[in-house]
Structure 1
């Protein structure tokens, strides 16, 4: 396996060809199907108004973006973060259209179709005829949605990274032995994943220990290998 980037965007609407623009982008880096802890997150001024219907989805108003950079100002940093990695998105055609439109507007090279991995298509092949939205997949894979009250690019990218790993075959998150702190550049607080589980406290009573010791002595005596020095 290799380095991959999970990406999500928030926008002013549904179609960049009719003037809609990107207002937020969030990326999660994974390597060999494990999150590395590296992220990229930017709010972006769309240089236009944001319709009420879009605000109801993501909660981002034009006032919140008053001091945000324009896309051309973040394009180089975003492309550097993505590098030559495959880009994973849910309903990838949507995010691809917006990202490549924005890249085209500022004269940057687009990300070719062949580099995109669509988790919606993956889910539809695995769960045909079922609801395969990001929310539905999170519920199906028992991925917590508690931190998500509105859509947000970085939050959704985090959720999608968990969904993608499940679609690739799943992994026991409780058995992860590494602890990774996610640095979101001040947008969100540090987030820790995969702390090593501590052993359970012993549940044997002293009386049970004595009974077991007597049994071992009676049955094995000094033949008990684990008692030898």
Structure 2
């Protein structure tokens, strides 16, 4: 299964008021393993970040002035996401912003390009009702190192969310692994062997073993009133 963990940074909180996506970070999981096939863009927009947003991500208009626009990157972005399962924390926020960027670029909405969108915040609320379920809080709960997260960044947050998601959805694996492990098949030998030429010996029961078996069935028959299902012959069962 191919999954993409995605996060964005924006100029503010409101699509309706013209805020835009200025950073996209994606981390790929294949069969729940990090592949290193990540995607990361800083994007130039014709709008300054709100001071509150700037304090969160620190991405200035000056820094973005030589970066590509979303429209320039949209073909690569769509191809990267195609038919993957998308995992986003507080998905409604990011999806609304990405849908707006896709619309401005003349492309269909995000759900048209991916297999499914999963909100990891909703999963966390199911697992920890009434608790704080921000990315920071979940990292603390699962013992995930976030010491390098002095500012929000889309790629770093996606990398952290990948670890959070694996912990949130590990299910029965949690009985077999320590909290800082992830499932791995790296060292498992899965080679198939051709057994078609091997003649397996058939070892038949001896007369003594058959007699002992019948004696055991006789005892079961007496205890159960003749209800011995291992004897196909009713007359034999009755005789027991």
- TM bucket (normalised to shorter chain) is 0.7 to 0.9
Structure with the higher fraction of residues in strand conformation: 1
**Hey, what's the Cα distance between the residues in 1 that align with 2:86 and 2:108?**
15
Query: Which residue pairs with 2:17 in the alignment?
Result: 18
Confirm or deny that 1:136 pairs with 2:137: yes
**Hey, what's the Cα distance between the residues in 1 that align with 2:51 and 2:17?**
17
For the 8 Å contact 1:7–1:89, the answer to whether it is kept is yes
Query: Which residue pairs with 2:198 in the alignment?
Result: none
Cα 1:148/1:177, change in 2 over 3 Å? farther
Query: Which residue pairs with 2:156 in the alignment?
Result: 155
**Hey, what's the Cα distance between the residues in 2 that align with 1:84 and 1:149?**
33
Cα displacement string for residues 107-145 of structure 1 (whole angstroms, at most 9, x for unaligned residues): 012122872100000000000000000000000000001
Confirm or deny that 1:106 pairs with 2:100: no
Q: Answer with 1 or 2: which has the greater Rg.
A: 2
For the 8 Å contact 1:47–1:70, the answer to whether it is kept is no
**Hey, what's the Cα distance between the residues in 1 that align with 2:131 and 2:66?**
42
Question: How many corresponding residue pairs?
Answer: 178
SS at match of 1:154: helix
Query: Which residue pairs with 2:54 in the alignment?
Result: 55
Query: Which residue pairs with 1:36 in the alignment?
Result: 35
**Offset of 1:84 from its aligned partner?**
1.0
**Hey, what's the Cα distance between the residues in 2 that align with 1:178 and 1:54?**
41
**Offset of 1:46 from its aligned partner?**
1.7
Confirm or deny that 1:116 pairs with 2:153: no
Structure 2 unaligned spans of 5+: 188-240
TM-score, with length taken from structure 2: 0.71
Q: Which runs of 4+ in 1 moved over 3 A?
A: 170-179
TM-score, with length taken from structure 1: 0.74
